[in-house]
Chain A
Amino acid sequence: MQPLNITLVAGSIGAGKTTWIQQQVHTTAETVIYLSLDAGETAVDSTYLAAEVPGLTVLSAVQLANFLEHPTDGCVVYLELGFHIDLNSIILPDPMADCRRVAVLPPGTRHTEWHGWADVVVTGAEASITLRQPHLWRSALSGQVLDSASLNTFWYELTNGAYGTIQRAKGIFDVADGRSLYFDFVAGLPETTDMELNLPRWLNGRPDRFSGIEIVGEALGQTAIAQTLKDCCLDEQAIAYYQQQIKDLIEQGEEVA
């Protein structure tokens, strides 16, 4: 049996860990397995990669343990570590002991704990601000359907500082027309528009799939963020109404925008 091809990916906020992994996946012909080590319930990155990268399998921590016991040949594994995970505290299972360690860091970064830890340092995106006390706030929204106009207003307010200084924000939201949208913001980088994930339209009640948000920032108004998100959500009746409209359009053979 060949040794396992495992890469641990760490790095600072917004430097582009997920983007780097995505690029690697595009250049390999092998089956790719991905796991975010600290995602818990809010799996924005894994959901995004699973929807956008064909041939990529997302594993939970339990599934990974099973995989390590009975590995499949010809697999490459990427493990993403959150910026707030203490690198020295990670205890790796035996089969992973001699994996490759990659740190994705902004240009010009020197003498960080990542440098001591990594085998390879990859130059990622420029970081425009460095927070003194970065705080991570997450919320799972699975089952909620948001009104698009409200979501756009919320995202504009959030990324323009209405709820504290934001360094990084990403989210996956189910909207009224059944689509699942991916939003991504890095302070200092040009504003990106939201993108539709490659997932089927959900037109039968509350979506049974992941949606949620992750924010890294300082002085975050968590209560206000949570309240505003709640105020963007549609009630049962509205969800049914919009879903019916889309179904009718599809039935009439019309292109649904």
Chain B
Amino acid sequence: MKVAVMSCIHGNYEALNAVLSDIDDQSADKIYCLGDLVGYGPHPNAVVEMIRALDIPTCQGCWDEDIVEGLNSCECSYPSVLAEKRGKQAHEWTDQVIHPEVREFLAQLPLSLRDDNLCFVHGSPHNQHEYLMPEVDAFVALERVLVTGADILFCGHTHVPYVRSLDAGQLQIRVKSTGTTERDVSFSAPLKRIVNAGSVGEPRHGRPNATYVIYNTDADQITLREVEYDYQKTCAAIIDNGLPPIFAWRLARGLEFAERADDPTHVCER
């Protein structure tokens, strides 16, 4: 069976369409979406309507949450004051144009999805806003997979696709409980993997192309797909719809609209 997993569409309808037809060409049996349907891009309503029409199981992304709950993320989730101002502009614009039923749909999205030994989340199992960067400490990474009970954890949010195998074998942790002395606990974990699906609508790999992944369960094989699409159309729509023109400039260069947070594991305790 082939499972297609995509994330971070960010209101980029052109990119979504191109990815959906590539998924069709690859004859995938199932599609999962890891959220961030809206935010920055010019077509949030159309993207959500398409996902709904195709009944694609989707978990809630950080932007989906913020559109529902209101923007109250702390400034630490932005790497710079410029990125924060741009993020707020994008949020306000999206908040204004979004249809009530689209907001309702985003509100009821689950935080994670399970399919046999596969788990799907937006950022990490702990939080939609946590970045699981490829260089995250192996122990932290393994903990994030183990907590789900799955063998493969699919995530998005960083906009950079990657596959990471965690065959740590023997792991040692030091347990410190009050009143007792420290003791070392060892356990072994079977091979676990983290697969980041990249971003459909807002890539940051230096090219405008959309990325997503296909997991072939029979061959146990993961393929990263990079799909070209008419990004100029999205760029034109950004400008026509009154979003900041710099978003179009950055999208065309695969630079993301704003920027990601620098501290890869930082989770805001709001």
- Residue in contact with B82 in the complex, picked from A160, A162, A221, A228, CB distance below 8 Å: A228
CB distance from B257 to the nearest CB of A (A): 12
- The answer to the question of A183 belonging to the interface, with a C-beta cut-off of 8 Å to chain B, is no
Please, what's the 1-or-0 string for A143-161, where 1 marks a CB less than 8 Å from any CB in chain B?
0000101100110010010
Residues in B neighbouring A221, C-beta threshold 8 A: 245
The CA-CA distance from A233 to B81 in the complex, in Å, is 8
The CA-CA distance from A154 to B259 in the complex, in Å, is 12
- The answer to the question of B52 belonging to the interface, with a C-beta cut-off of 8 Å to chain A, is no
Please, what's the 1-or-0 string for A118-155, where 1 marks a CB less than 8 Å from any CB in chain B?
00000000000000000000000000000101100110
Most A-side CB within 10 Å, residue of B82, B253, B259: B82
- The answer to the question of B246 belonging to the interface, with a C-beta cut-off of 8 Å to chain A, is yes
- The answer to the question of B157 belonging to the interface, with a C-beta cut-off of 8 Å to chain A, is no
- Residue in contact with A147 in the complex, picked from B80, B246, B262, CB distance below 8 Å: B80
- Residue in contact with A232 in the complex, picked from B79, B81, B262, CB distance below 8 Å: B81
Give the total number of A-B pairs whose CB atoms are below 8 A apart.
40
- CB-based nearest A residue for B82: A150
- CB-based nearest B residue for A227: B244
Q: Are B259 and A231 in contact (CB under 8 A)?
A: no
Residues in A neighbouring B99, C-beta threshold 8 A: none
CB distance from A213 to the nearest CB of B (A): 15
Q: Are A228 and B80 in contact (CB under 8 A)?
A: no
- The answer to the question of A226 belonging to the interface, with a C-beta cut-off of 8 Å to chain B, is no
- CB-based nearest B residue for A235: B81
- CB-based nearest B residue for A162: B249
Total residues of chain B contacting the partner, CB 8 A:
14
- The answer to the question of B233 belonging to the interface, with a C-beta cut-off of 8 Å to chain A, is no
Q: Are B82 and A153 in contact (CB under 8 A)?
A: yes
- The answer to the question of A53 belonging to the interface, with a C-beta cut-off of 8 Å to chain B, is no
- Residue in contact with B79 in the complex, picked from A149, A157, A228, CB distance below 8 Å: A149
Residues in A neighbouring B85, C-beta threshold 8 A: 231
Residues in A neighbouring B80, C-beta threshold 8 A: 147, 149-150, 153, 232
What bracket does the count of chain A residues touching chain B fall in? 10 to 19
The CA-CA distance from A234 to B75 in the complex, in Å, is 13
- The answer to the question of B10 belonging to the interface, with a C-beta cut-off of 8 Å to chain A, is no
- The answer to the question of A189 belonging to the interface, with a C-beta cut-off of 8 Å to chain B, is no
CB distance from B178 to the nearest CB of A (A): 32
Residues in B neighbouring A157, C-beta threshold 8 A: 246, 249-250
Q: Which B208-251 residues have C-beta < 8 A from chain A? A: 245-246, 249-250
- The answer to the question of A75 belonging to the interface, with a C-beta cut-off of 8 Å to chain B, is no
Q: Are A224 and B82 in contact (CB under 8 A)?
A: no
- The answer to the question of B86 belonging to the interface, with a C-beta cut-off of 8 Å to chain A, is yes
Given A153-B259, A231-B86, also A162-B246 (CB < 8 A): yes
Residues in B neighbouring A149, C-beta threshold 8 A: 79-80, 82-83, 259, 262
Q: Which A26-58 residues have C-beta < 8 A from chain B? A: none
The CA-CA distance from A154 to B85 in the complex, in Å, is 13
Residues in A neighbouring B83, C-beta threshold 8 A: 149-150, 153
CB distance from A47 to the nearest CB of B (A): 24
Q: Are B246 and A224 in contact (CB under 8 A)?
A: yes
Q: Are A234 and B81 in contact (CB under 8 A)?
A: yes
Q: What are 24 A-B pairs with beta-carbon distances under 8 A? A: A147-B80, A147-B81, A149-B79, A149-B80, A149-B262, A150-B80, A150-B81, A150-B82, A153-B80, A153-B82, A153-B83, A157-B246, A160-B253, A162-B246, A162-B250, A221-B245, A224-B245, A228-B246, A231-B81, A231-B85, A231-B86, A232-B80, A232-B81, A233-B81
User: Taking beta carbons and an 8 Å cutoff, which residues of A are in contact with B?
Assistant: 147, 149-150, 153-154, 157, 160, 162, 221, 224, 228, 231-234, 238
Rank and list the top 6 A-B pairs by shortest CB-CB distance, nearest first: A150-B82, A149-B80, A150-B80, A231-B85, A147-B81, A162-B249
User: Taking beta carbons and an 8 Å cutoff, which residues of B are in contact with A?
Assistant: 79-83, 85-86, 245-246, 249-250, 253, 259, 262
